[in-house]
Amino acid sequence: MLVREAARAQWPLEHVYVGESAAIDMDGVPVTVVADGVLERVATTITPRPVIAVGRQRLVAIEELPTATFLVVLDEISDPGNLGTIIRAAESAGADAVVVGGGVDVFNPKCVRATAGALFFTRVARVANAESALRVIGGWGMRRVGTSASAPRRYDDVDLIAPVAVVLGSEAHGLGAEVVASVDELVSIPIVGRSESLNVASAAAVLCFEVARQRRAP
């Protein structure tokens, strides 16, 4: 449950509202019980759980991340479900932070839900565009690896053990030209079947867990 995850992550919550039929113990956060049916009218889901929390939006600045060893940089992701699923996969695979360059807002309710709480456990930086973030990241000596369906180099054929920023592009257009010009290397996930490409969140999962796999290997 999202609110429980936010509390577990000590995310700054200001107030929690629960339906009469729900019991909740929130350490240090004011809880207000409201009549059954009220939350259903406020929530953005059709069948909400009977708990709503109000919390601050917390972001980091890109400048706070120079000691990261694993970043995920996103260029104009437009679907909130994809963005949330990518944040969940990135956090699960051990990424230090996700850098969101343009596209849909990370606090879009569908995105927050799709993170399944991972949003509270990872750092997110929001930048106007991915290429400006990549220039900063490159200045730290971190390798910037972009993904492109047509790149000849395979994603599992590059060293992902050294500090790396994995870069993924929009659903419709992939990486923008400015972003391609700002990475050190392009890799692809080879398609074995007849599909033309992978969903961007699937590609992110494959890439992030390849980082985890290489770093775990003896």
Residues that bind a second copy (CB under 8 A): 9, 81, 85, 88-89, 91-95, 114, 116-118, 121-122, 156, 189-199, 201-206, 209, 212-213, 216
List the strands of the sheet with 123-127, edge to edge.
123-127, 97-101, 70-75, 164-168, 143-147, 185-187
> 76 and 169 in contact (C-beta within 8 Å)?
yes
Our CB check for a second copy shows the closer of 18 and 118 to be 118
> In angstroms, what is the minimal distance from the CB of 58 to a second copy?
15
Our CB check for a second copy shows the closer of 107 and 121 to be 121
Q: What does 191-214 look like in DSSP terms, one character per residue?
A: --SS-S---HHHHHHHHHHHHHHH
> In angstroms, what is the minimal distance from the CB of 115 to a second copy?
8
Our CB check for a second copy shows the closer of 30 and 190 to be 190
> In angstroms, what is the minimal distance from the CB of 216 to a second copy?
7
> In angstroms, what is the minimal distance from the CB of 142 to a second copy?
18
> In angstroms, what is the minimal distance from the CB of 182 to a second copy?
26
Our CB check for a second copy shows the closer of 108 and 132 to be 108
Our CB check for a second copy shows the closer of 54 and 191 to be 191
d(CA 60, CA 12): 14
Our CB check for a second copy shows the closer of 98 and 183 to be 98
CA count, 13 A, side-chain hemisphere, 159:
7
> In angstroms, what is the minimal distance from the CB of 27 to a second copy?
18
Q: Is 32 helix (H, G, I), strand (E, B) or coil?
A: strand
Residue 113 DSSP symbol = H
- Say how far residue 166 (Cα) sits from the centre of its chain: 12
